[in-house]
């Protein structure tokens, strides 16, 4: 479904992603783990076409997306839940969700998805007329995920959905992600620093360090990998 | 005494509504594109001259001329954005210099086409209504009403329509707007045209009151800047309220102090507010 082919990305002269390749098949749950500054966010933004790669190409369902503008990538069915939420903070919860469904015309489907996200995150329903900027960090993260779901995407990318949250809230978010995985027929690409949270539910995972893919394997396998154990699972 | 004050205030509010309209165009462009458009005054001037062209030279009625010139300036704004702003938008200083230079070019073109001399557009409506302490022109009341209707329409568009919500998202976070599927460049092009159109509408409504000359756009530009900063950069309610405050302050100063102080007072108010609250009246603290 998604093929990232030896993609290199620079910020000015600085190298951020170095000849990275990655594949996600339809229906998979794929994780990218790695420490601060590994290039996870840069990779995700490049897939969304917010950043242009210096070399390499990205294909989605066979279409080359690496030179399309971001809104056309979105139209093909990729939703990106960005790092640190990035909501419309001066807009209401409801307006943020509406913007999530910006490209959709199927009213019935939108209603159904709204019901789904409100059932998953009841607090959003309670606060639907409140400005997103007044929500707590955890609630904002829920809204960011809900907004991405409202696009009814084929591929859902979530960039560090648990970053900066208290442990309990982290768990709550990952329960929701588990539920999305079970209930929705959506392919998921997720980045996370906390490998112990994400590896158990991943079909496959990549370990990214200083702009490169270091290890790739099945989620369970990686949990047994000595390097991963020592570096990421603290065992 | 009180009645004079009341009548002056009413007249100030009436003129302030039109200032607000002109300044709103600047606010929209600043908010949605983070561009400081120094050509805003030139769009204002074009609005006045096109009203002159359609009403005096071509003989359309005032309302038709108003609509035609607003539409024409909208189109000019869109083309201007595409050709001049879009390629360099991220470089703020270049945008500043370019829009400054373009304003002079537009001014020269108008001078060439219409000549350098003063023009005037006669009132489109005559008659006055009496209010305690004096009277107001019916025309000013109607112009104010049109301005308020445009402002209300703008509010409604931003609040309730898809394009309006897209504009607000682009204003908050351009990158994410794109990710959500919003065609950011199109929204910005539209917003710029819209901003130019607001300047032109204000000018068209003010043109029966003020004289027309090719460099007439600079004063309103400065005033609009002062209003936008006073109101809090990018705040629409702040801009509207400040426009009205400035209108009233001008009229009161002109009467009670001296007409020569009239144009200075808004800037004194501006200096006062930014020394107390640097982000302006409705500005959010960062
Ligand atoms: N806008 C930018 N300009 C310049 N350099 C950047 C920019 N964004 C990121 N970088 C650099 O690119 C590299 C990769 O950063 P990136 O944010 O992609 O990492 P990450 O894996 O997402 O890290 P984190 O876990 O902290 O979010 C880092 O060295 C970072 O300093
Ligand atoms: Mg990151």
For the stretch A165-221, pLDDT in tens is 999 999 999 999 999 999 999 999 999 988 999 999 999 999 999 999 999 999 889
3-state secondary structure of B65: helix
Rounded to whole angstroms, the Cα distance separating B212 from B46 reads 10
Q: Which domain holds residue B85?
A: 2-119+133-276
Q: Which residue has the tokens 């609005």?
A: B47
Whether residue B54 is contained in a domain is answered as yes
Rounded to whole angstroms, the Cα distance separating B53 from B57 reads 5
**pLDDT above 70 (res B183):** yes
Q: Where residue B285 falls among pLDDT bands split at 50, 70, 90?
A: low
Whether residue B86 is contained in a domain is answered as yes
Q: Which two tokens stand for residue A77?
A: 């069915």
Question: What residues in chain A have their Cβ under 8 A from chain B's Cβ atoms?
Answer: 45, 48-50, 69-71, 74-75, 79-80, 82, 86, 88-91, 95, 98-100, 102-103, 147, 151
Please count the structural domains in chain B. 1
Instruction: Compute CA distances A165 → A39, A194, B205, whole Å.
Output: 21, 12, 54
Q: Where residue B216 falls among pLDDT bands split at 50, 70, 90?
A: very high
Q: Where residue A112 falls among pLDDT bands split at 50, 70, 90?
A: very high
Minimal Cα–Cα distance from B266 to chain A, Å? 29
Nearest to B181 among A50, A90, A102 (CB): A102
Mean pLDDT (whole number) for B240-244: 95
Whether residue B252 is contained in a domain is answered as yes
User: Which residues, 6+ apart, have CB-to-CB distance to A51 below 8 Å?
Assistant: A9, A42, A45
Whether residue B17 is contained in a domain is answered as yes
Rounded to whole angstroms, the Cα distance separating A137 from A23 reads 31
Contact (CB<8Å) B181/A86: no
Q: Are A199 and A205 in contact (CB under 8 A)?
A: yes
Rounded to whole angstroms, the Cα distance separating A38 from A209 reads 5
Which CATH code, of 3.40.47.10, 3.90.230.10, 3.60.20.10, 3.40.50.300, is assigned to A2-87+155-231?
3.40.50.300
Whether residue B128 is contained in a domain is answered as no
What is the pLDDT at residue A202? 96
Cα A11 to ligand 1 centroid, rounded to whole Å: 9
Average pLDDT value for chain B: 93
**pLDDT above 70 (res B286):** no
Minimal Cα–Cα distance from B73 to chain A, Å? 28
Cβ of A193 below 6 Å from ligand 1 = yes
**pLDDT above 70 (res B144):** yes
**pLDDT above 80 (res A235):** no
Whether residue B127 is contained in a domain is answered as no
Q: Are A190 and A178 in contact (CB under 8 A)?
A: no
What is the pLDDT at residue A55? 97
CATH code, domain with B73? 1.10.3470
Whether residue B214 is contained in a domain is answered as yes
Whether residue B283 is contained in a domain is answered as no
Q: Which two tokens stand for residue A224?
A: 């047994």
Rounded to whole angstroms, the Cα distance separating B36 from B29 reads 7
Q: Which of A151-160, B141-150, B260-269 has the lowest mean pLDDT?
A: B260-269
**pLDDT above 80 (res A98):** yes
Q: Where residue A74 falls among pLDDT bands split at 50, 70, 90?
A: very high
Alpha carbon nearest to ligand 1 atom 2, residue = A11
Helix A137-149 vs helix A167-183: crossing angle, to nearest 10: 10
Contact (CB<8Å) B168/A88: yes
């Amino acid at each position: 479904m998604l093929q990232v082919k030896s993609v290199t990305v620079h910020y000015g002269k600085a190298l951020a992603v170095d000849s990275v390749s990655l594949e996600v098949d339809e229906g998979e749950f794929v994780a990218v783990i790695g420490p601060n500054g590994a290039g996870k966010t840069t990779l995700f933004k490049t897939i969304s076409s917010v950043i242009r790669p210096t070399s390499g190409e990205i294909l989605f369902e066979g279409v080359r997306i690496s030179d399309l503008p971001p809104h056309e990538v979105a139209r093909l069915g990729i939703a990106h839940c960005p790092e640190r939420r990035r909501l419309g903070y001066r807009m209401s919860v409801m307006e943020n969700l509406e913007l999530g469904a910006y490209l959709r015309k199927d009213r019935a489907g939108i209603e159904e998805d709204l019901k789904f996200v409100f059932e998953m995150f009841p607090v959003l329903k309670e606060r639907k007329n409140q400005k997103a900027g007044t929500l707590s960090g955890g609630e904002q993260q829920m809204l960011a995920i809900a907004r991405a779901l409202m696009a009814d995407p084929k591929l859902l990318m979530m960039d560090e959905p648990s970053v900066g949250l208290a442990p309990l809230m982290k768990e709550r978010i990952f329960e929701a992600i588990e539920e999305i995985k079970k209930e929705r027929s959506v392919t998921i690409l997720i980045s996370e620093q906390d490998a112990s949270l994400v590896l158990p539910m991943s079909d496959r995972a990549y370990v990214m360090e200083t702009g490169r893919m270091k290890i790739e394997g099945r989620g369970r396998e990686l949990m047994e990998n000595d390097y991963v154990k020592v570096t990421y699972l603290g065992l | 005494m009180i009645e004079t004050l009341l009548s002056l205030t009413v007249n100030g509010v009436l003129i302030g509504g039109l200032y607000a309209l002109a300044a709103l165009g600047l606010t929209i462009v600043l908010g949605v594109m983070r561009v400081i458009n120094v050509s805003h005054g030139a769009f204002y001037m074009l609005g006045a001259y096109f009203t002159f062209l359609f009403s005096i030279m071509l003989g359309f009625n005032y309302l038709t001329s108003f609509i035609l010139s607003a539409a024409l300036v909208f189109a000019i704004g869109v083309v201007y954005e595409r050709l001049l702003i879009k390629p360099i938008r991220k470089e703020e200083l270049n945008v500043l210099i370019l829009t400054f230079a373009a304003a002079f070019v537009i001014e020269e073109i108008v001078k060439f086409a219409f000549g350098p001399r003063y023009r005037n557009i006669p009132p489109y409506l005559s008659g006055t209504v009496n209010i305690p302490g004096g009277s107001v022109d019916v025309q000013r009341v109607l112009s104010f009403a049109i301005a308020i209707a445009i402002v209300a329409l703008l509010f409604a568009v931003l609040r309730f329509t898809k394009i309006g919500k897209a504009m607000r998202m682009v204003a908050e976070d351009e990158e994410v707007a794109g990710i959500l599927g919003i065609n950011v460049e199109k929204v910005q092009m539209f917003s710029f045209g819209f901003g130019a159109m607001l300047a032109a509408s204000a000018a068209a409504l003010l043109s029966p009151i003020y004289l027309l000359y090719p460099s007439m756009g600079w004063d309103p530009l400065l005033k609009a800047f002062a209003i936008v900063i006073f109101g809090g950069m990018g705040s629409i309610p702040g801009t509207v309220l400040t426009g009205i405050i400035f209108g009233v302050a001008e009229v009161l100063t002109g009467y009670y102090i001296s007409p020569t102080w009239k144009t200075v007072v808004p800037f004194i108010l501006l200096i006062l507010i930014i020394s107390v609250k640097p982000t302006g009246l409705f500005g959010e603290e960062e």
